[in-house]
Amino acid sequence: MQMLKNLKMGLATELTELTKEFRTEQQEYLKGLQRLKEKRKELTHFEDHPLELNAQEQKRIEELEQEYAQQYSEEQVRELIENQKDIIRRDQELREILNDIVELQALFNQFQGLVVEQGTLLDRIDYNVESAQVSMKGAVKNLVDAEDAQKNSAFTCCVLVLGAIIIAACFILFLKFS
């Protein structure tokens, strides 16, 4: 009997130790869950961006409340509703981002049009500069030719004047001796 009593005492002591260990582990687990909940609230808390629900979204929230009110506790229903509101908020934010991206795309398209237009304008300017360069080379050649012609013309004029003087002198000599 003594042995049975000792065995019971040993088992009771072991059960007490296991119960203490279980409670300690359970408390640590609950503390971990609480920390996760707080961290989640910090990450999903949107004070600076209030949620604006449209009629359809408000109706969906009310349906969730009615549907889950009988099946789950009030805290669980509140958490489900908060999750649904977070989903709606994220959806709204994604739509805003999408609108911003569409606006950004429009700006890039306008910028692309300006770049193409400026490129065309630069091509025209480049063509005009090349054309002016060719024209300038032609003008320089024409000026050189004109200068040569003018020099030749002055020389020709001098020769003609001298020739006329010689002919006039010959004519005067001929008249004087005739």
Q: Please state, as a whole number, how many other Cβ atoms lie within 10 Å of the Cβ of residue 132.
A: 11
* Within-domain flag for 161: yes
Q: Of all residues in the chain, what percent carry a pLDDT higher than 90?
A: 26
* Within-domain flag for 159: yes
What pLDDT is stored for residue 163 in this prediction?
A: 93
* Within-domain flag for 120: no
User: For 162, how many CA atoms within 13 A lie in the half-sphere containing its CB?
Assistant: 6
DSSP state of 72: S
Q: Residue 167 is part of which domain span?
A: 146-178
* Within-domain flag for 132: no
* Within-domain flag for 106: no
**pTM across the whole model:** 0.42
pLDDT band of 2, cuts 50, 70, 90: confident
Closest CA to 43 of 83, 77, 78, 80: 83
* Within-domain flag for 153: yes
**pLDDT tens for each residue of 15-70:** 899 999 999 998 988 888 888 778 767 665 554 555 677 777 777 777 777 777 77
* Within-domain flag for 111: no
What pLDDT is stored for residue 51 in this prediction?
A: 62
Q: What integer best gives the mean pLDDT of the chain?
A: 84
In the predicted model, is pLDDT for residue 166 greater than 90? yes
pLDDT band of 97, cuts 50, 70, 90: very high
Indicate the number of domains in the chain: 1
* Within-domain flag for 154: yes
> Tokens representing 74?
């009030």
What pLDDT is stored for residue 64 in this prediction?
A: 74
Q: Of all residues in the chain, what percent carry a pLDDT higher than 70?
A: 93
50 — phi, psi (to 5°)? Answer: -65, 145
Measured CA to CA, the distance from residue 113 to residue 59 in angstroms comes to 46
What pLDDT is stored for residue 137 in this prediction?
A: 93
